[in-house]
C-alpha cells in the first residue's frame, strides 16, 4: 500500500485530527499570533537549523524590541545577536536580518513581497523560507519542503525523490493545491511526534494502512 491521490484527502485529514492537540511549528504560531508577513519572514530566518523550542522565544524577544523593518534597521548587529541567541548561526542571521530589512525598505517600499522570485533576491532567503512566507505570512498556496516533508512524502510512497528541491517540484505537480498551505505544518508536527526519522511510532499512526513505509527498518 502507498499514499496516492485517491487517499491523500483521508491521509491529510487523519494527520490533522491526530495532531489537533499538539502545538503548531514555531513559524506557524508566529503567523497566527502576529499576522505579519515581515515577522513570519524574520522568524523563518531564525528557525533555520534551530529547534522550535529555541526559535519561538527568540522571536518573542526580538519582536518586543522591533516589529517592523524600520524599527529593526535601527538596531546594531550586536543588539540583534543578543536578542536571538542561542539560535543557530545567530551572528550570521543577525546580519542577514538587517540586510533583509534594508532590502524591504529600499527595494519593496517597506513591505514584504508576496512573490517567490522577489523573496529569493534577499540574502539568506532560500526556497524553503520563501515558500513558508507565502503560506504562513500571506495564506498563499506554496510548497514549502523541509526535512520532514521530504522524508515523510517519500516514506509514504507518495513520491520518489532524492533532494528537497526535487520533492518541492514533485509535490507541486502531484499534491492537490487545497493541501499546499497546511501540508508543511502538518508534516513537521507529524514528523516530530509520530513519523520520526529513526524508529517511527507506527503503532499509533492513524495512516499506517496507507503508508508504504519506504526505508523503515525499525519502528515502535
Helix (H, G, I), strand (E, B) or coil at 158: coil
* Distance from C-alpha of 92 to C-alpha of 193, rounded to nearest angstrom: 30
Do residues 207 and 14 touch, judged by C-beta distance below 8 A?
yes
Give Cα 23 distance to the centre of its chain. Answer: 14
CATH, range 26-138: 1.10.340.30
Kindly report the CATH class assigned to 8-22+143-204.
mainly alpha
Q: Which of 190, 201, 109 is nearest to 152 (CA)?
A: 190
Map out the domains of the chain as residue ranges.
8-22+143-204, 26-138
Residue-level pLDDT, tens digit, the chain, 220 residues: 899 999 999 999 999 999 999 999 999 999 999 999 999 999 999 999 999 999 999 999 999 999 999 999 999 999 999 999 999 999 999 999 999 999 999 999 999 999 999 999 999 999 999 999 999 999 999 999 999 999 999 999 999 999 999 999 999 999 999 999 999 999 999 999 999 999 999 999 999 999 999 999 888 8
Q: Which of 152, 155, 160, 208 is nearest to 183 (CA)?
A: 152
Helix (H, G, I), strand (E, B) or coil at 104: helix
Amino acid at each position: 500500500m502507498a499514499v496516492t491521490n485517491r487517499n491523500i484527502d483521508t491521509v491529510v485529514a487523519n494527520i490533522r485530527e491526530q495532531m489537533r492537540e499538539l502545538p503548531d511549528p514555531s513559524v506557524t504560531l508566529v503567523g497566527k499570533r502576529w499576522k505579519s508577513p515581515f515577522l513570519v519572514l524574520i522568524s523563518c530566518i531564525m528557525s533555520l537549523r534551530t529547534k522550535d523550542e529555541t526559535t519561538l522565544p527568540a522571536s518573542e524577544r526580538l519582536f518586543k524590541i522591533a516589529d517592523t523593518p524600520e524599527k529593526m534597521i535601527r538596531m546594531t548587529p550586536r543588539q540583534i545577536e543578543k536578542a536571538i541567541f542561542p539560535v543557530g548561526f545567530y551572528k550570521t542571521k543577525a546580519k542577514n536580518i538587517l540586510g533583509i530589512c534594508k532590502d524591504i525598505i529600499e527595494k519593496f517600499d517597506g513591505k514584504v513581497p508576496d512573490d517567490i522570485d522577489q523573496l529569493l533576491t534577499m540574502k539568506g532567503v532560500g526556497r524553503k523560507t520563501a515558500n513558508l512566507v507565502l503560506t504562513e505570512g500571506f495564506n498563499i498556496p506554496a510548497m514549502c519542503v523541509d526535512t520532514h516533508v521530504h522524508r515523510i512524502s517519500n516514506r509514504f510512497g507518495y513520491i520518489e525523490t532524492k533532494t528537497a528541491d526535487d520533492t518541492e517540484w514533485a509535490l507541486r505537480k502531484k499534491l492537490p493545491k487545497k493541501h499546499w498551505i497546511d501540508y508543511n505544518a502538518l508534516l513537521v508536527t507529524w514528523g516530530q511526534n509520530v513519523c520520526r526519522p529513526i524508529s517511527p511510532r507506527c503503532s499509533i499512526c492513524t495512516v499506517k494502512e496507507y503508508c508504504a513505509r519506504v526505508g523503515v527498518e525499525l519502528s515502535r
